[in-house]
Amino acid sequence: MGIVNVTPDSFSDGGRFLDPDAAVRHARALVAEGADLVDVGAESTRPGARPVSAAEEQDRLLPVLERLLADPPCPVSVDTAKPEVADAALALGAHMVNDVTGLAAGPALARVCARHGAALCLVHMQGTPATMQAAPHYEDLLGEIRGRLAEAVATAEAAGVAPDALCLDPGIGFGKTVAHNLTLLKRLDALAPIGKPVLVGPSRKSFLGALLEAPPDQRLEGTLAACVAAVWAGAHLLRVHDVAAVRRAVRVAEAIRDAPDGEGPP
């Protein structure tokens, strides 16, 4: 999943793709690099980001979607938690909603997805972007995240979203310390009992900055290592900025993972 941020303030690429034609060019370039889907977002969810109104989000998003969906190069996901924004995007032909709040506001967004027959990604977030990094705390990190995502799955299915149209994301950086993020990447298998594909988004995030003491534009190697580790731990989808590099790293990691173990006959 390639990231297209149509925002002035996203943490690593804010302001670069505010112009709709630039955003569409970027989406098509990510597909040329090997993205299987693109995720278009118009509200930054970085820690402390200013919330935007539904009208402002649509003003940024819809011109991009109109152009992209006129001739979609791949399925298109929309990164929004607002039912009215999702409704407008899906009416234009978007295929999926990526909800970083994991239906925190209730089933309305899931009902919109159900009505359009769209896919839905449910992300775990503790708190809100304004507060989530203040003091993240869990008594049982894996159990709490699995429990919250299982509840969100039940809400989505009760609202009519098809069981095979859901995927889960533990929400790297969404109310998590560096240590929480590392454990989640290592233990993605903890979400397997819910029985849905797992998406994960470590790309250029601040836990990499903390480990490497590097700004967002110098976190490629860290992103590659995190993506390889995530695939090894069972991730099915990766949400990334650097599609070509991640595809190459993952291709090698998967080849090693799937290689014969060398004991006994080949």
Residues that bind ligand HH2 (CB under 6 A): 3, 5, 7, 10-12, 41, 44-46, 79, 98, 100, 121, 123, 169, 171-172, 199, 201, 239
Q: Least separation, in Å, of the C-beta of 119 and ligand HH2?
A: 12
Based on CB atoms, which residue is closest to ligand HH2, 57 or 79? 79
Closest CA to 78 of 12, 250, 69: 69
Q: DSSP letters along 113-153, please?
A: HHHHT-EEEEE--SS-TTTTTSS---SSHHHHHHHHHHHHH
Q: Least separation, in Å, of the C-beta of 3 and ligand HH2?
A: 5
Q: Least separation, in Å, of the C-beta of 255 and ligand HH2?
A: 26
- Categorise residue 249: left if φ over 0, alpha if ψ from -120 to 50, beta otherwise: alpha
Based on CB atoms, which residue is closest to ligand HH2, 71 or 128? 128
Q: Does the annotation count 111 as an active-site position?
A: no
CB 138 within 8 A of CB 157: no
Angle at 31 between CA 187 and CA 122, to 5 degrees: 40
Residue closest to ligand HH2, measured at CB: 201
5: which strand partners?
41
- Categorise residue 53: left if φ over 0, alpha if ψ from -120 to 50, beta otherwise: beta
Q: Least separation, in Å, of the C-beta of 41 and ligand HH2?
A: 5
Based on CB atoms, which residue is closest to ligand HH2, 86 or 199? 199
The two three-digit tokens of residue 130, written as one number: 């304004």
For residues 185 and 223, what is the distance between their CA atoms, to the nearest angstrom?
A: 12
* 60, 148, 204, 239: the active-site residue: 239
Q: Does the annotation count 239 as an active-site position?
A: yes
Q: Least separation, in Å, of the C-beta of 10 and ligand HH2?
A: 3
Based on CB atoms, which residue is closest to ligand HH2, 46 or 67? 46
* 196, 205, 219, 247: the active-site residue: 205
Quick one: CA torsion of 208, 214, 215, 216, rounded to 10 degrees? Answer: -40
With H, G, I as helix, E, B as strand and everything else as coil, classify residue 264: coil
Based on CB atoms, which residue is closest to ligand HH2, 159 or 235? 235
Closest CA to 157 of 103, 78, 81, 77: 103
The set of catalytic residues is 205, 239
